[in-house]
Amino acid sequence: MPALVELLGVSKSFGSVRAIEDVSLTVDVGEAVGIVGPNGAGKTTLLNVIAGSLRADHGRVVFAGRDVTTLSGHEHCRAGIARTFQIPRPFAGLTAFENVLVGATYGRGGSEAARQQASIEALEQSRLLGKANTPAGRLTLLERKRLELARALVTDPRILLLDEIGGGLTELEVLELVETIKTLRGRGITIVWIEHIVHALLSVVDRLVALAAGRKLIEGDPHTVIRSPAVAEIYMGIPADA
């Protein structure tokens, strides 16, 4: 299976703080990869580097065989990389449809009719079509999470980067969202997902990557990684040799 994303020795610092350090990672076409780690592990920074909203200080980002390290976030989006954000910030005064149409206009292009049709399809894929004419400010948290998905999907991504999309939801809402993500994956979209709700990750991903202090700690089979002594140590302070 060919690699869609390759991170080659990527590092990113903010002043004297090294957020991620010498991280290498490959994501294959059609794969779902989960990323776990404590707060401050560098997970969101890693997603931002893949998405192009942050530029790596060192190393390379290769997407579909093309070096995109120095390209802008807009260019990453047009290349086929889309992401959601942990805290949805829609345009509250616009309807759900209008919010998605903004994403289509700036992240996809094409004729007005094509952008409108793509917006309708994205809302349907994210199971939010019934709220198309509802102002975003009146949506529930689950609906705003679905709107985040729709705004990403309307750009026709090859890879979808999910940042804590289950955060703040009830157990039932998380399960509903997991089913939506499984459906999207079934349509061939590659997924990289940061999430603290471990059972949600384990029900979707093929591989799990654990980060700690900006470095890749361990990766592999999701159940093996999550039960590893190294992960127990970073989450609960249990020494790895205990």
Q: Are residues 21 and 37 in the same domain?
A: yes
Q: How many domains does the chain contain in total?
A: 2
Neighbouring CB atoms inside 10 A of 135's CB total 16
108, 130, 156 — which closes off a domain? 156
Q: Judge contact between 27 and 4, C-beta under 8 A.
A: yes
Tens digits of per-residue pLDDT, 139-157?
999 999 999 999 999 999 9
pLDDT in tens, 42-58: 999 999 999 999 999 99
Are residues 209 and 134 part of one domain?
Answer: no
Between CA 129 and CA 210 the distance in angstroms is 35
The pTM of this model reads 0.92
**pLDDT one-digit tens code per residue, 96-137:** 999 999 999 988 878 999 999 999 999 999 999 999 999 999
Strand partners, 163: 194
101 and 203, same domain (yes or no): no
Domain endpoint, select from 139, 156, 173: 156
DSSP symbols for 98-158: HHHHHHHHHHT-S-HHHHHHHHHHHHHHTT-GGGTTSBGGGS-HHHHHHHHHHHHHTT--S
The answer to whether residues 95 and 173 touch, using CB atoms and an 8 Å cutoff, is no
- Domain boundary pick from 133, 156, 179: 156
Q: Residue 186 is part of which domain span?
A: 1-80+160-242
pLDDT at 239: 53
